Amino acid sequence: MSLWWEIAKRGLFALDAERAHELGLGVLETLQGMPMLRRMLEPADDPILRVEPWPGVVFPNPLGLAAGFDKNGRAFESLAALGFGFVEVGTVTPLPQPGNPKPRLFRLPADRALVNRLGFNNDGAEAVAARLAAPRRAALGVNVGKGIGTPLELAAGDYVRAWERLAPLADYAVVNVSSPNTPGLRSLQARGELERLIEALCTARARAAHRPPLLLKIAPELDESALADVAGVVRRYGVEGVVATNTTVGREGLRTQRGAVERCGSGGLSGAPLRARSLEVLRTLRTLLPRPTVLVGVGGIATFDDLWERLEAGADLVQAYTAFIYGGPAWPRQMLKQLAARLRARP
């Protein structure tokens, strides 16, 4: 499939990045409606790869697709059939919203990176819930956020409404307080704001019949003091996990020419340049949050060595997005084949 993908990629990469993304997602959505074709994609279920990050929650493997690729739950079964052990849908807000003006997604091929300022464009919680309610086999997470027009002082209400509608349909739920593309959102990571938000969600969760694990998704820019505050909130409220990390607003050390980077404008940078910082954040959190708190390592995982390094550093699960864009449909299974071989070779 690699030769096929290299040919297809030339055509896709000749298109605007968001248009190419929609085209690829549309193909996967079509396959999702054709179970026989979808089954042809399914990799063997290797028992050595199975993980149980939370009691009773079993994933076929620890490699997931990060939020942002399938924002609206259109193709999660097809994505799982490509090999991903779990798929995170979203970010989803209570009401539909178009996101930021286009163009808003850009490739930096020299860095195997992307810049996005999509701005939580999504169909809204009701529409996404309708898709997720259909019978499914894929392991699924939902990622929720606040509407772009909702004042920060009312943000907790948005998170609660989205969580109440979507969490009953998911294996876990993520609170996104770290996107750089919704004004002021990252201020919700400050300890006082974060405590108020998590307390509101925990109150809602206490009333719910189905209470999937609750996770926080944090920014790579948080320093040690801020990470200690996050860890304190996690411990105090019994949050079951942290996703480390979201995209970065930094642009340091890129191979892409400065002018080309500047033409992309503002937005979150993802991909290989994020690897070192996301790994550092993960290692810090693992010292602050011993197991059973689950850590999801994401950001700059492009090669098998990156994946293995994240697991060795304390990640219970790992996620990718940008590497999938560059590596193509065969990328997940290539990673998993190497992971199974490494696990079997361990003493």
Active-site amino acid positions: 179
In sequence order, what are the residues at sequence separation of 6 or more whose Cβ sits closer than 8 angstroms to the Cβ of residue 72? 89, 92, 122, 123, 127, 128, 131
249 Ramachandran zone, left/alpha/beta (phi>0; psi -120 to 50): alpha
